Amino acid sequence: MIHPDLPFLTQTPDAKAILGVRPSELEGFCKCLPDNQGAYVLGTGFRAAAGELRLLPAPHGVGAAVIGLGEDRSHHCFGKLARSLPEGAWRFEPGDFDMDSAILGFCLGAYAFTQFKPAARPPASLVVGEGHESVLAQAAAIFAGRDLINAPANVLGPTELADAAAALATRFGAQFQRIEGAALAAAYPTVAAVGAGSDRPPVVVRIDWAGSRAAPDAALVCLCGKGVVFDSGGYDLKPSSGMLRMKKDMGGAASMLALAQMLMASDAPIRLVLMLGCVENSVSGHAMRPLDIIRTRRGLTVEIGNTDAEGRLVLCDLLAEASDLQPALLVDCATLTGAARVALGPDLPALFSNDDGWAEAVLRAGGEAHDPAWRLPLWGGYAAWLESPVADLNNVSGKSHAGAVTAALFLQRFVKAGTPWMHIDTYAWNDTSRPARPEGGEVMAMRALARAIVQRLASTPQTDPAAHLAST
């Protein structure tokens, strides 16, 4: 099977075998290997630990590879293969592991951002048989999201991020809208305020798509993403150390694009709306200032307590519009707060939701797919921390605690009552390289979301969110 976005896949019939073995099976496994290869494997000290690799000799070089599985049932133990195996074509032999997990781990480990510098060596090639289209589509979507996050801000501005959304819409035959200039300022005043300081004007994009099997009343899923291509902090300027990775501040938009790509590639029987706020937060004579007051699309007024809390401003107008569509599910994703990283670290996106059924479905799917998130509370007792004496609310809390919670509570004010909603506060980055997770941009929890959405909505057309809430 060949995939246009995964160039290391091949169809050659001469691929070498990759054999997976667990520690409890190692002795019997080695006895079944031909030509004393089993003795060789044991003699090298191989213990079948997760990710442990041995190459089996053959008369003319390497004949096969043995990968230890340990007790790991995730895709991660296959994540070093693409960069560790000798160049050439390889295939997985069936074993005590899930084939889709093996393929996913191989693919995610093969990724490298090569737009400006080639990889030290190309990955090994992989032969994939029929029946694995879904996992390949997931890998391709993650590759696309990683590429966007890794792109430097001088190359990926608001226009270029919008262009990436347009290309995705064209690829899947979806409707596409690009809102700019005066129309954007009128419809999305908070996005306009965030982008006012940059010479690169903001863009809002919207994609409308329906699966080929989606009835007119099929469940509507709305996705909103924070696409801040670079965040200086505005007048509340970040220190230089805080700006070093701010090209990744559009990681929420990249994640929502990846999720949309997964759903469209699977032809999910749903209706889908994707909205991105593509913008740069810069400093200039036109930039928003501390204590400015902005009237939002919802009509609420917001006092700017901190210009570096711009992501919630980008999202609030998008959430207002999306929730007015009465979706069966509304999801937003953003690299929103450092507080979420303090609480959960870089690997666990924070999940907030007003719907226990949806939250539990995503957490369960994340466990099944080894793509986790962790739920934090929408603690209403902190809502008063966002009060302002001169506006309906402030964009930041006056307290130093629970920054991720108060950010989510701010967003909730713009979600129409009765709308099932989830907010994902993601880091969107791997600080170091690990199996299947190379250093750099990362798409987190989107496979879990795709799995939960398909499981819950694919067979339950629903246009009334209140009825959906009752069913959960």
The upper half-sphere exposure of residue 8, i.e. CA atoms within 13 Å in the direction of its Cβ, equals 28
Q: In three state form, how does the secondary structure of 55-67 look?
A: EEEECCEEEEEEE
Point out the catalytic residue in the list 16, 245, 312, 416: 312
Please give the torsion angle defined by the CA atoms of residues 16, 20, 24 and 27, in that order, rounded to the nearest 10 degrees: 0
Residue 296: partners with Cβ closer than 8 Å, 6 or more residues away: 189, 190, 302, 316, 317, 320, 414
Q: Which amino acid is at 94?
A: P
Point out the catalytic residue in the list 73, 200, 238, 295: 238
Alpha carbon distances (Å) from 273 to 215, 451, 470: 15, 18, 23
Alpha-carbon distance 436 to 420, whole Å? 32
The question of whether 200 is a catalytic residue gets the answer no
Three-state DSSP class for residue 358: helix
Please name the helix (run of DSSP H) or strand (run of DSSP E) that holds residue 125, with its range, or none: strand 125-127
The question of whether 83 is a catalytic residue gets the answer no
Alpha-carbon distance 35 to 455, whole Å? 48
Whose CA is closest to 384, among 405, 367, 362, 364?
405
Residues catalogued as catalytic: 238, 312
